[in-house]
Chain A
Amino acid sequence: MSYNFDYHNEFPPNLDSIPCPGHLDINATHFSNAILLHIRLNGEMNCTLDVTRTGLRPVEQDVMHRPIAGIEGSELNSGGVNNKEEDEELFIRDNLSDYNVHIRLGDPNDPKLPVIATQIAELYQRVIIPTLQRGQGIPDNPSSLDIMITLSSKIWSRGDSTDEDFSKLVFVLKCIKDMYQR
């Protein structure tokens, strides 16, 4: 049994910085301690990042029970009935700081790569690994999983970020998710 997943798609047309057609090939191999992810744009890839989990986490802030982003508990207390309680509950938490990103190969000054890598890691921790548990390809200790990502930095434009960068990231994340739903 090999825990290998393969996926192919094409980027939507008319994107800057992506030639048309933009072939996206994703390949993931699961190991007991890590997931090796290859994301190719037109077959190419040029950057390698290693994402590890970091820090201590209280039990109630388990990976499945925390908000995706922003202020925890803000919805519950939006009425402002109990101000004291609100102050206690207001706790700003940046989930992306739970990850350590090492750029093993590629431009270490590219500010987009760590964001992309943490978003992929977050997708694995919150969506893909919990759904895989019923099936196969689950590592020994999912919460301490390393994710080794080799990707093409050419998917995202150099220089200042644009709205398109975000939609390309969402597209890549959706493709990774779709890869496991077959």
Chain B
Amino acid sequence: MLVKTIIKTVSSEDEESNRFQSVPIEIIATIPEIKDTENKRIPISITLRHVNDSQEMSKLQCYHYAIPKRDSSDIIDVPLLDTPNNWISEVTRKISISTAKKYHKPCYTAWSSSEAMSNGISPMDQLYILKKCINLLDTLIV
């Protein structure tokens, strides 16, 4: 096995002083296995699911790709599926770029949420979600 998939739900209940509603976000991450991390071409893929009711199916809203340049720390990124919702496209892009930059690997990020959840999230929460994603990857990638 060269890759493994981890599903984790993060919620803000245990955190103080953040304005993010207590709606959990499910993160499905596929990462290279630790012993194979020398292969820089194996991408990390992250799928986020943001819904009120965990039984409800979410809608794929945005899908973003980012890859580090071979000889520098620059990142090239492209949306593969875009959305008119700026907040969603921005948070998806940020997660892709940050992950690609931090781990020097290509990164695919997909964001899904129900229609009702797509509106009314404050911009501050982007950092919270980004932090949660990076924290999760940190615990998985040694």
Which residues in A have some Cβ–Cβ distance to B below 8 Å?
A: 1-4, 6, 8, 23, 25, 27, 29-34, 36, 38, 40, 42-45, 48, 50, 104-105, 137, 139-140, 146, 148, 150
- What is the CA–CA distance of A137 and B112 in the complex, to the nearest angstrom? 15
Indicate if B54 sits at the interface (CB-CB under 8 A).
yes
Looking at the complex, which one of A23, A27, A30, A150 makes contact with B2 (CB distance below 8 Å)? Answer: A23
Indicate if the CB atoms of B1 and A8 lie closer than 8 Å.
yes
Chain A: minimal CB distance from B79 (Å): 9
- What is the CA–CA distance of A75 and B52 in the complex, to the nearest angstrom? 52
- What is the CA–CA distance of A146 and B59 in the complex, to the nearest angstrom? 11
Indicate if B55 sits at the interface (CB-CB under 8 A).
yes
Indicate if the CB atoms of A45 and B43 lie closer than 8 Å.
yes
Would A3 and B57 be within 8 Å (CB), given that A23-B1, A43-B3 are in contact? yes
- What is the CA–CA distance of A48 and B43 in the complex, to the nearest angstrom? 13
Find the B residue at minimum CB distance from A31: B60
Would A4 and B42 be within 8 Å (CB), given that A31-B58, A105-B65 are in contact? no
Indicate if the CB atoms of B59 and A31 lie closer than 8 Å.
yes
Which residues in B have their C-beta under 8 angstroms from that of A43?
2-3, 32, 36, 39, 41-43
Find the B residue at minimum CB distance from A33: B59
Chain B: minimal CB distance from A120 (Å): 17
Which residues in A have their C-beta under 8 angstroms from that of B41?
43-44
Chain A: minimal CB distance from B85 (Å): 14
Indicate if the CB atoms of B80 and A1 lie closer than 8 Å.
no
Looking at the complex, which one of A6, A27, A32, A45 makes contact with B58 (CB distance below 8 Å)? Answer: A32
Indicate if the CB atoms of A44 and B43 lie closer than 8 Å.
yes
- What is the CA–CA distance of A143 and B119 in the complex, to the nearest angstrom? 27
Indicate if the CB atoms of A30 and B57 lie closer than 8 Å.
yes
Chain A: minimal CB distance from B48 (Å): 10
- What is the CA–CA distance of A3 and B58 in the complex, to the nearest angstrom? 10
Indicate if the CB atoms of B59 and A105 lie closer than 8 Å.
no
Indicate if the CB atoms of A32 and B32 lie closer than 8 Å.
no
Indicate with 1 or 0, residue by residue over B58-94, a CB within 8 angstroms of chain A CB atoms: 1110010100000000000010110000000000000
Would A148 and B60 be within 8 Å (CB), given that A29-B110, A45-B43, A50-B81 are in contact? yes
Looking at the complex, which one of B28, B42, B59, B78 makes contact with A2 (CB distance below 8 Å)? Answer: B28
Find the A residue at minimum CB distance from B32: A43
Indicate if the CB atoms of B55 and A40 lie closer than 8 Å.
no
- What is the CA–CA distance of A6 and B28 in the complex, to the nearest angstrom? 11
Find the A residue at minimum CB distance from B108: A150
